[in-house]
Chains A and B, each alone.
Chain A
Amino acid sequence: MVNLRNFKQFIVDTIGLMAHGSRLYYAWVGFLLLLIAVGGVAYANQLHNGLIVTNMRDQVSWGFYIGNFTFLVGVAAASIMLVIPAYVYDWGPIKEITILGEMLAVTALIMCLGFVMVDIGRPDRFWHIMPLVGHLNWPQSMLAWDVIVLNLYLLLNWFVVTYLLFSSYLEKHYNKKIVLPLVLLSIPMAVSIHTVTAYLYNGLAARPFWNSAILAPRFLASAFCSGPAVLLILLQVLRKTTRLKITDEAIFKIAELMAYTMGFNLFLTAAESFKELYSGTEHMVYFQYLLFGLEKNGVHYNTLVPFAWASIITGFVAFLLFLIPKTRTNWTTLNIGCVLIYTSVYIEKGMGLIIPGLTPDALGEIFVYRPSFTEIAVAAGIFSLGALVFTIMLKAAVPMMLGEFTISKGRKAADAVPENEPIQA
């Protein structure tokens, strides 16, 4: 029965599951906590001295933090790759594991929030952005839209995950009438979060590199082709270490869908490159900086070139690996492909999007930006925080999904050496 007492018990039990585990579990959590502490110390330094401890300056006023934020919004949007086949086409094998995608979305969104918080100059004024309490410049500012859609998407995913797990915990079947509309809603919402994030950049006439019509489609294509890569690897890990049933068929289907999105992503990239390089206007200078380097007043600026080509080549190779059925169904090449596409899109969203958009700057100056040690430490802390959140969510969710841990089952086991402990391979 769904009531407050049961829910309270659910929370207590969830925390109990999260707080206990094998040695490996503790070691992993400990490692993540250590990294989070490192990030925390770096962030404390940044709070005290200001953002001057980063390498961002007026000329390149957004950098590593916002690059990571953009990439992670894409990861959050990618969970719908699993939702679409599961609920729209009612495709069995994926349904059970869609919840993992949604948990990944929640994690990614928490990290997004983290990166925004560490990037703003006055985090003590975060309440200014809240509607009613502060002053949210909606609908004019795209950042205002982003605040709204990201938080709504977070709430939506968090609610669906909690509800599904709670139902499983109570040994009841979830109410389709509640879940299905929400999950279907999450499809346009996922599209919306990445579109709005793309519009953030797209709407700025001051930055011709971003002010291109296909920026939003490019964002979506790259999100859909890279986000699920994390899940593919995760699913393989989970089915080896837990009793979670994930068929080969499901994994290969996701990979096939990814192949098509990768192809589309490459096509859009080619379209963008063609427009800039063929028309050859002054706006080409940003693409030139990215792909070929620029020469100004006798100085050569080539910092981004190796990364740009690495991104293109890894993306292309991953596309081939995923497209060809033989390599797609081979676990080695599939996993290599996952790593490659993840790398490709990570580079593209950070170094390939933020930096060339701001270099050369509005007055033609070229400032070479590289993240400082503080930025890397803080980012590592936030990624570790995300990993920790995801780990503890999985720790609680997997036994519940498997039906091994419910309101009546498995409680004692959680105190002793748990039998639903991940099997050490």
Chain B
Amino acid sequence: MTDLKPMHSHEGSVDSGSCDSRREFLGTAVAAVAVALTGCGKLSKEEFLQHNFRELSKDEIQTIIARLEAEYKEKFHKTVKVGNEAAMPGVIFGYALDLSRCIGCRRCVHACVKENNQSRDPEIQWIRVLEMEKEEGVNIQHAEQYYNPDEVPREGHFYMPVQCQQCKKPPCVKVCPVGATWREKDGIVVVDYNWCIGCRYCMAACPYGARHFNWGEPHIKDADVNPDTHYLGNRPRPKGVVEKCTFCIQRTRKGLYPACVEICPTGSRKFGNLLDAKSEIRQVLESKRVFKLKEDLNTQPNFFYFYGV
């Protein structure tokens, strides 16, 4: 408080302005507190001091990626690659889902879980499929997520999968107190899992229930770990941070379709570059009856629902 002179330190070389050693001492002391605060989990000094991804230099990112790959190798007993592909220029991703064709089989949900290394126990699923009645139309209050008939589609019902809409005006980005989530140039809203403090304000702000929290330590069997990952996408996440659909950033930035698009047996999912006039997604937007979910909230999603028939 008022005692301005540096106190006796165990380091020994504190007195005059030897800022580095004092900072180092402080850093170590705070790191010790931080390790305690993780509940005696493993927390290296580098991980503790790591800054917001957007403020890191290329070299720092490489170092961090090397560290992460080593950690994953130790944890999962296999080589996991953490990529850092940047957004392709001239690309903004768009997604369209054909409500007239979705049969609610949930193959997209599970393909996503496998591709994106989601925790199996406690369970996290980035896609939620809503079953609604055709008579009622799209009425979220009357939707049912836990349907489990022998066969889908059920008579008189239609199905609407919901995942991150990658909004152009994302409320989650607006409210994050530490700037751990942001919208990339290709439209994907990403999370820096090493910066998120787990306050869950973004989850309250999301109108689509698209963000999910690692309430406990995530668990995936070694064999189930997908080793092709992206730093901002499907790399295995730690406890206590938020995660969500990233349009399979590890695939789409290499030109591939997201896993949910590929697995859908009815071809209800369409994906592509909104800036390419000849893309499938543009064809959909120009020729079909398209709507946006909760459009009145003006989140301007890049995810559209349409009626193919």
Contact with B along A55-75 (1 / 0, CB 8 A): 011110110000000000000
Q: How far is the CA of A49 from the CA of B40 in the complex (A)?
A: 10
- Cβ of A132 within 8 Å of any chain B Cβ, yes or no, is no
| Known A136-B178, A147-B177, A203-B175; contact A121-B198, beta-carbon cutoff 8 A | yes
The answer to whether A143 touches B143, judged by C-beta atoms less than 8 angstroms apart, is: no
Q: Which residues of chain B from 176 to 226 have any CB-CB distance to chain A below 8 Å in the complex?
A: 176-180, 195-201, 203-209, 211-217
The answer to whether A49 touches B216, judged by C-beta atoms less than 8 angstroms apart, is: yes
Q: Which of A50, A129, A206, A357 contacts B207 (CB 8 A)?
A: A206
The answer to whether A206 touches B206, judged by C-beta atoms less than 8 angstroms apart, is: yes
Contact with B along A353-370 (1 / 0, CB 8 A): 000011011111100000
Closest to B209 in A: A362
| Known A124-B37, A141-B201; contact A363-B178, beta-carbon cutoff 8 A | no
Q: Which A residues are CB-close (under 8 A) to B201?
A: 141, 143, 200
Q: Which B residues are CB-close (under 8 A) to A127?
A: 30
The answer to whether B200 touches A363, judged by C-beta atoms less than 8 angstroms apart, is: no
Least CB distance from B301 to A in Å reads 13
Contact with B along A303-331 (1 / 0, CB 8 A): 00000000000000000000000000000
* Interface majority SS (helix, strand, loop, mixed), chain B: loop
Q: Which residues of chain A from 135 to 191 have any CB-CB distance to chain B below 8 Å in the complex?
A: 135-137, 140-144, 147
| Known A48-B39, A61-B204, A297-B144; contact A122-B240, beta-carbon cutoff 8 A | yes
The answer to whether A119 touches B297, judged by C-beta atoms less than 8 angstroms apart, is: no
Q: Which residues of chain B from 54 to 111 have any CB-CB distance to chain A below 8 Å in the complex?
A: 55
Closest to B200 in A: A61
- Cβ of B38 within 8 Å of any chain A Cβ, yes or no, is yes
Q: How far is the CA of A362 from the CA of B212 in the complex (A)?
A: 13
Q: Which of A58, A121, A129, A204 contacts B175 (CB 8 A)?
A: A204
| Known A204-B171, A206-B205; contact A121-B213, beta-carbon cutoff 8 A | yes
Least CB distance from A351 to B in Å reads 17
Q: How far is the CA of A200 from the CA of B2 in the complex (A)?
A: 35
- Cβ of A218 within 8 Å of any chain B Cβ, yes or no, is no
Q: Which residues of chain B from 153 to 193 have any CB-CB distance to chain A below 8 Å in the complex?
A: 162, 171, 174-180
Closest to B211 in A: A58
- Cβ of A213 within 8 Å of any chain B Cβ, yes or no, is no
- Cβ of B300 within 8 Å of any chain A Cβ, yes or no, is no
Q: Which B residues are CB-close (under 8 A) to A47?
A: 36-40
Least CB distance from A366 to B in Å reads 10
- Cβ of A207 within 8 Å of any chain B Cβ, yes or no, is yes
Q: Which B residues are CB-close (under 8 A) to A8?
A: 2
Q: How far is the CA of A125 from the CA of B33 in the complex (A)?
A: 11
- Cβ of A51 within 8 Å of any chain B Cβ, yes or no, is yes
Contact with A along B214-246 (1 / 0, CB 8 A): 111100000000000000000000011110000
Q: How far is the CA of A215 from the CA of B141 in the complex (A)?
A: 24
Q: Which A residues are CB-close (under 8 A) to B177?
A: 129, 136-137, 141, 143-144, 147
Contact with B along A240-266 (1 / 0, CB 8 A): 000000000000000000000000000
Q: How far is the CA of A16 from the CA of B208 in the complex (A)?
A: 56
Q: Which B residues are CB-close (under 8 A) to A143?
A: 175, 177, 199, 201
The answer to whether A360 touches B216, judged by C-beta atoms less than 8 angstroms apart, is: no
- Cβ of B142 within 8 Å of any chain A Cβ, yes or no, is yes
- Cβ of B48 within 8 Å of any chain A Cβ, yes or no, is yes
Contact with A along B287-300 (1 / 0, CB 8 A): 00000000001110
18 contacts across the A-B interface (CB closer than 8 A) = A44-B39, A50-B216, A120-B199, A121-B239, A124-B33, A124-B35, A126-B197, A135-B55, A142-B175, A143-B175, A143-B201, A358-B204, A363-B130, A363-B145, A363-B208, A364-B140, A364-B141, A364-B142
List the 3 shortest-distance A-B pairs measured between CB atoms, nearest first: A121-B198, A121-B240, A47-B39
